[in-house]
């Protein structure tokens, strides 16, 4: 199965082409836009196509978008056109992933970046032996039996009904109904052992995602430059604020994780000191009844 690492929206002018050819045309544009050039060999190696197919693809792209591509006779490669305008809509997150990790034949990531790139240190990653059964259970709506280590209970046997993966910026966890505590909780993937999908056990109505109040509740947060910052205009630009406010709509179950990751001062009177607090939660009452808010910096001060 080929996995296409470039997420794009295809323009109407070429939507009559096959899906595989659309992917190759999108790849041509990707290389032109983000690397400035592409050769026939690049296309052949990426998709495993014959020289005649690659030649046809370049001709198809040039016919559809003539201003986007030029041929350099010296290097025998195609380069970015002087009047280039993206025909495909590329998504920044996927582009950054492709640039940072690269991809090889068949769309498999190679681990070799396309441009020099330094990535943040990730202290731990879930193993495939854990991630695979969890993702299967999410897709198939099944129960997972596993051993789980927590700070409060230590190592215990659990049966959970997972329904969504969540990344809090530092680690991956899964949102799931826990049959041990009879409530919806977050389970860190790296704390799991011996995960097995139980196909015989059907989900009950109260175990479905629709019953998770904190997951389904949407919280609206207004983040502004922290008053202790000397240059709020820089922070406004860094976070793409509009009229000095970054307005976020987010699930209540993950709001605390995001506020902690962004180091947002959530105290009512912006009492937290230190230049690391670049943002302040202006509408702190929006966290009322949000269970994950206990993770947010300064949240406990709201009750003083």
pLDDT tens, residue by residue, 250-268: 999 999 999 999 999 999 9
Distance CA 33, CA 36 (A): 6
Give pTM, 2 decimals.
0.78
- Segments of the chain assigned to CATH 2.30.30: 128-213
CATH no., domain 8-107: 1.10.10
Q: What Å distances lie between residue 1 and 4, 106, 235, CA to CA? A: 10, 8, 43
pLDDT at 9: 60
Residues 46-58 have pLDDT tens digits of 999 999 999 999 9
Instruction: Report the 10 Å Cβ neighbour count for 163.
Output: 21
pLDDT of residue 5 exceeding 50: no
Lowest mean pLDDT among 30-34, 86-90, 132-136: 86-90
Query: So what's the pLDDT on residue 302?
Result: 46
The candidate with the shortest Cα–Cα distance to 144, out of 186, 182, 200, is: 200
Comma-separated ranges of CATH 1.10.10 domains in the chain: 8-107
Distances (CA, A) of 165 to 85, 101, 113, 140, 187: 36, 21, 26, 14, 10
Does domain 128-213 match CATH 2.30.30? yes
**Could you give the CA distance from residue 142 to residue 160 in angstroms, rounded to a whole number?**
9
Name the nearest CA neighbour of 187 among 171, 174, 168.
174
């Amino acid at each position: 199965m080929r996995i296409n690492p470039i997420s794009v929206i295809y323009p109407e002018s070429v939507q009559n082409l096959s899906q595989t050819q659309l992917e190759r045309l999108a790849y041509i544009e990707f290389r032109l836009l983000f690397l400035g050039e592409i050769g026939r060999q690049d296309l052949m190696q990426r998709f495993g196509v014959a020289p005649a197919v690659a030649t046809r693809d370049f001709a198809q792209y040039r016919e559809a978008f003539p201003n986007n591509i030029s041929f350099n006779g010296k290097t025998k490669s195609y380069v970015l056109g002087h009047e280039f305008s993206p025909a495909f809509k590329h998504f920044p997150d996927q582009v950054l992933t492709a640039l940072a990790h690269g991809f090889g034949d068949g769309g498999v990531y190679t681990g070799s970046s396309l441009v020099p790139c330094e990535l943040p240190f990730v202290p731990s990653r879930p193993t495939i032996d854990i991630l695979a059964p969890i993702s299967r259970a999410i897709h198939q709506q099944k129960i997972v039996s596993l051993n789980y280590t927590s700070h409060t209970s230590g190592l215990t046997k659990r049966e959970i009904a997972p329904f969504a993966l969540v990344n809090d910026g530092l680690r991956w966890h899964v949102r799931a109904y826990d049959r041990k505590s009879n409530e919806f909780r977050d389970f860190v993937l790296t704390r799991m052992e011996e995960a097995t999908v139980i196909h015989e056990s059907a989900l009950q109505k109260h175990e479905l995602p629709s019953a998770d109040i904190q997951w389904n509740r949407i919280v609206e947060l207004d983040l502004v430059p922290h008053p202790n910052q000397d240059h709020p205009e820089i922070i406004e630009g860094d976070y793409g604020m509009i009229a000095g406010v970054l307005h976020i709509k987010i699930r209540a179950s993950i709001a605390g994780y995001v506020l902690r990751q962004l180091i947002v001062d959530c105290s009512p009177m912006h009492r937290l000191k230190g230049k690391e607090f670049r943002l302040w939660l202006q509408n702190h009452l929006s966290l009322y009844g949000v269970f994950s808010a206990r993770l947010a910096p300064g949240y406990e001060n709201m009750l003083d």
